[in-house]
Amino acid sequence: MGEIGIGMASISHSPVGTSASEFLRSSSNGVNGIPLRTLGRARFGSTTRRDLVVAAKLRKVKKQDHPWPDDPDPNVKGGVLTHLSYFKPLPEDQKPKPVTLEFEKRLLSLEKKITDVRNMANKTGLDFSDQLFTLESNYQQALKDLYTHLTPIQRVSIARHPNRPTFLDHVFSITEKFVELHGDRSGYNDPAIVTGIGTIDGRRYMFMGHQKGRNTKENISRNFGMPTPHGYRKALRMMHYADHHGFPIITFIDTPGAYADLKSEELGQGEAIAHNLRTMFGLKVPIVSIVIGEGGSGGALAIGCANKLIMLENAVFYVASPEAAASILWKNSKAAPQAAEKLRITATELLKLQIADGVVPEPLGGAHADPSWTSQQIKYAINESMDELMKMDTEELLKHRMHKFRKIGMFQEGLPVDSKKKVNMKMKEEPIVRTSSLNIEDEVKKLMQQILNAKESSVELPESALNDMIEKLEREVDREYSEAVKAIGLKDRLVMLREEFSKIKLQDQLVPPALMDKIEKLKDEFAQGVSAAPNYETLKSRLDMLMELSKIKIDSANEKKYARLKQQVNKKYVEIMNRPDMKEKNKALEDEIESSGVSSGQDLGPELKEKIVQRKKEIELEMVDAIKALGLDVAAVRPKAKEISEQIPIDVKAKEKELNEEIKGEIENVIKSTDLKEKIEVLKLEVAKAGKTPNVASKNRIAALEQQIKGGLVEAMNSSNLKEKHEELQAEVSKVIQSLENQNPKEDPPKEDGSLEDQNPKEDESLENQNPKEEDSTYDE
């Protein structure tokens, strides 16, 4: 073809008058009416060559693998355009195999036991449900203990887990529709960064994120999630597109860093990242970034300059990987665990430093243990963040994004440091300012004298001074406790247990038995060793003063409360007795007594006595209803029962107390020596799993466990001699009560004038407040 072009260029143009039809007819056999054969001979100057052969060779190219199927399903989740995505469910032979991390190998023995029991149940057909339930409970408890005490380097391992859900896994799970957009419009499409438009709950968003592979083949094609400059320029193009159309942007970060090969540097890797950083701070739409794995250096920050940075619980975000930092600082990559701890790269640490704005929880075992649940948690976090950001106008949104990054690491000399920022700063070594023991004792003595004077003169206690002194003593006691713990070498363990306990409380979980055992063990060790602490006497003195003042405060509050309740009850009593129907009944009974002709000092007849007793009961029932309306509960309206209990001999009361202690000790021994303790813990876990609305299966399991525990206790108690002791004591108490009742009249005699005005029930003997914190309440008994 090139040769023909040269020949054509050397020939003069056709005459002006040549028509188009003539030109076309002549060009079929030659150029400008000259045959090609003649043209060839004239060009090469050869007359012996018969013709010129023109050949064209087509280059073989790879056939495009279009993802569009032959019969697309229009009802597929995400819309029919989802078929355009190359991201398809993996076939069974390409799915990744389960991977056990190094620190998870301690769970393999439990997993093997569960598998063996299941295989045995399948082979033999026997019922091993109880054993399986116990093993699975132990496995879940071990898994919880392991994943609630992860070290930073272990979280790095989880963030890099090969089976961890990728960007597209989460996107297809949380969106109703998603269409992937390709290319940087400069000749290349980087598969390590994926962009597209999708909807969540009807809202349109622009999605972009790092995409790792799910197996070796995908990882190679995705370059292990390490983008080239083309990928960042594709993301930049989509940012401009979203800004133009007003789509909020959601970015997913999961990369070890930008690809650092020679070609990427030649294509301007640094310039592409810097351009993205500058552009993101000027976008007029909300931006939310989510770190789902590892976020490495500028490669992550290039799509991470957002209004909100949210991290998964086991995600990490760092300037340099722990291995790289260890190689630089310790000259040995094996120091990576130490580097990971010092770098503070975990989600909780970055949240404290106000770099991250939120932490999304993961299931036990990591996000790969339950990808769908993790995706839903991400969806909730996105909706919550977007609801907040969508309320801001453009100027406020830009300022919010700018201030988020400007405040990181900002400080000014000469100004006091904010208390929130002091949390992660190294404590300044300052001498502890101690309050002199003599000074604080003098202050307490003066306060006690003021309280005594107030009681004698029937005036209110100095509550303000009392509260101030209690707060002061609490601070002193806390300080003395801390010094005592430090002196006997338990400080590190106490700090660790506090962190574990706080984390469990924040997650609203049951305290695991293993942690309770650690706490009890630490308490026992402290109780045994505190007497050897150098500040033991000071601690004991201040603790005694604190307890004494606290008791005075509680008693004062109780007196006020009881006085208020008594006033309310008396008011109710007056209201009841002044009701027309009550007055009418009382008047009728008084008239009947008067008409009976019984003179003063004479006994009433049995019929009148019965009517008076019946009327008294009616008044008591009215009072019970009124008292319950006040939010109180009536424990008893039997003043004589209290009198009789007070007259029981001391030796009988001592026997009763001794028997109660024996029963309590026997129950504790039974629980410790049998498998009841384990069943109780299993019951707690089952109740926690069931929640407020348990299903039928959960109810049956809970009922069965309760029955087993009760049966075990009853069997153990029956086997001991406690039952006989109880029956003997019960018979002895019954005899004493019977003899006392025979000595006292069964009913109080009425007043001489037959009046019923003094039948008001005694509030202090008949009422109990329903507050479980009261020392004398029936709940404590």
8 A C-beta contact, residue 212 and residue 257: no
Count the alpha carbons within 13 Å of 702 in the hemisphere toward its beta carbon.
15
8 A C-beta contact, residue 291 and residue 300: yes
Does residue 532 register a pLDDT over 90? no
Identify the CA nearest to 618 among candidates 765, 759, 769.
759
8 A C-beta contact, residue 640 and residue 744: yes
Residues in a beta bridge with 316: 294, 346
* pLDDT tens per residue across span 36-47: 455 455 444 444
* pLDDT tens per residue across span 647-692: 667 777 777 777 777 777 777 777 776 677 777 877 777 777 676 6
Does residue 211 register a pLDDT over 70? yes
Identify the CA nearest to 315 among candidates 285, 354, 356, 281.
356
8 A C-beta contact, residue 169 and residue 194: no
Residues in a beta bridge with 208: 195, 251
Query: So what's the pLDDT on residue 510?
Result: 63
What is the DSSP secondary structure assignment for residue 96, as one 8-state letter?
P
Structure tokens at 760: 């008001």
pLDDT band at 506 (very low <50, low <70, confident <90, very high): low
Query: So what's the pLDDT on residue 582?
Result: 84
Query: So what's the pLDDT on residue 509?
Result: 62
Which residues lie closer than 8 Å to 50 by C-beta, 6 or more apart? none
8 A C-beta contact, residue 193 and residue 231: yes
DSSP track, 487-554: HTT-HHHHHHHHHHHHHHHHTT-PPPHHHHHHHHHHHHHHHHHGGGSTTHHHHHHHHHHHHHHHHHHH
Long-range contacts of 160-165 (CB under 8 A, 24+ apart): 160/293, 160/294, 161/99, 161/101, 161/366, 161/368, 162/96, 162/99, 163/96, 163/98, 163/99, 163/368, 164/292, 164/293, 164/366, 164/367, 164/368, 165/292, 165/367, 165/368, 165/371, 165/374, 165/375
> 318 phi and psi, to 5 degrees?
-145, 160
Does residue 137 register a pLDDT over 70? yes
Measured distance CA(557)–CA(233) in Å, rounded: 70
Can you give the pTM of this predicted structure? 0.48
Does residue 768 register a pLDDT over 60? no
Measured distance CA(484)–CA(529) in Å, rounded: 9
Long-range contacts of 721-726 (CB under 8 A, 24+ apart): 722/659, 722/662, 722/663, 722/666, 725/659, 725/662, 726/659, 726/663
Measured distance CA(274)–CA(171) in Å, rounded: 27
Residues in a beta bridge with 739: none
Query: So what's the pLDDT on residue 449?
Result: 83
8 A C-beta contact, residue 762 and residue 639: yes
**Cβ atoms within 10 A of the Cβ of 149, count?**
13
**Cβ atoms within 10 A of the Cβ of 40, count?**
20
Does residue 607 register a pLDDT over 60? yes
> 210 phi and psi, to 5 degrees?
-75, 135
Does residue 643 register a pLDDT over 90? no
Does residue 240 register a pLDDT over 60? yes
What average pLDDT does the structure give for the chain?
Answer: 77
Measured distance CA(598)–CA(753) in Å, rounded: 10
pLDDT band at 198 (very low <50, low <70, confident <90, very high): very high
